[in-house]
Amino acid sequence: MTNAISVIGVAKSFRYRSLGRATLKDALVKRLFTAEDHRLRIVEALGSIDFEIEHGQMLGIIGRNGSGKTTLMRLLAGVFPPDAGTIAIDGALAPLLALGAGFHPDLTGRENARVELLVLGFTPKQAEAKMDAIIEFSELGSFMDAPVRTYSSGMLMRLAFAVAVCVDPDILLLDEVLAVGDELFAQKCLMCIEDFKDRGKTIVLVSHNTGIIERWCDVVLWLDRGRVKMFGAPQEVVQAYSQSDAGVGFG
């Protein structure tokens, strides 16, 4: 049986130019008036990541800031390709990564929702047919016709989550989406996630809330400095993480 997600030997690095100890003004002056070229520095975000997730499983991903969680989610979503290794996705996927990352600030909530649906492969007619469900789930009401630059982080969460779940994908990627917004809507999102699980959907959740990870997930991946520190049963992985230096200070 084909897995929902298969990640084999995946690695990803980012390159940036080193400015040394120069101020921003110094860097701009050198850039404009000299031919000096700064050395490229390479940061390895992920190195040789391997794991597989079966259809219907919920994977939790934990790790301290900078451990590579968001990079991995962006690779799974196809935002950019890995430098090495392979990623196989079996099923329609809807990513909910950085809240509002794909939204244009000057477009309204309704317009942004329509664009997101078109990007995910819906026809204009199908996108319009989803709009009532998105408005109802998000509970944004008349704010759907306001520019999203006027939205709070909680309102962005409402819109982004409503679009993602109304797509009804086979695989749902959630990156820290429950960390903002009001408690009542967060509970509504958890109920929706539970419904997804009951219907055999595959879910990948990144969260610093180890309580949610342990309670909801079937398997947990602990990333540390871009490497797999541990992969297995939620209680075992969360306990090991919580007792480590990496787990100190996180809920």
Q: Which DSSP letter does residue 140 get? A: -
Q: Is the pLDDT of residue 223 over 90?
A: yes
pLDDT class of 235 with cuts at 50, 70, 90:
very high
Q: Is the pLDDT of residue 82 over 50?
A: yes
Q: 10-19, 27-36, 88-97, 112-121 — which is least confidently predicted?
A: 27-36
At 147, which amino acid appears? P
What the block records as the tokens of 192 is 């929706």
pLDDT at 164: 85
Topology of domain 5-247 in CATH is: Rossmann fold (3.40.50)
Could you tell me which residues come within 8 angstroms of residue 201 by beta carbon, excluding any fewer than 6 positions away?
A: 56, 169, 170, 171, 172
pLDDT class of 183 with cuts at 50, 70, 90:
confident
Total residues found in the chain within this entry: 251
pLDDT class of 175 with cuts at 50, 70, 90:
confident
Quote the CA–CA distance of 226 and 45 in Å, as a whole number.
Answer: 5
In tens, the pLDDT along 186-206 reads 888 888 888 999 999 999 999
pLDDT at 249: 41
What the block records as the tokens of 216 is 């909801």
Contact 20, 1 (CB under 8 A): no
In tens, the pLDDT along 96-142 reads 775 555 789 999 999 999 998 998 889 999 999 999 999 999 999 99
Q: Is the pLDDT of residue 250 over 50?
A: no
pLDDT class of 180 with cuts at 50, 70, 90:
low
Q: Which helix (H) or strand (E) segment is 42 a member of? A: strand 40-53
Contact 74, 97 (CB under 8 A): yes
- pTM, full prediction: 0.81
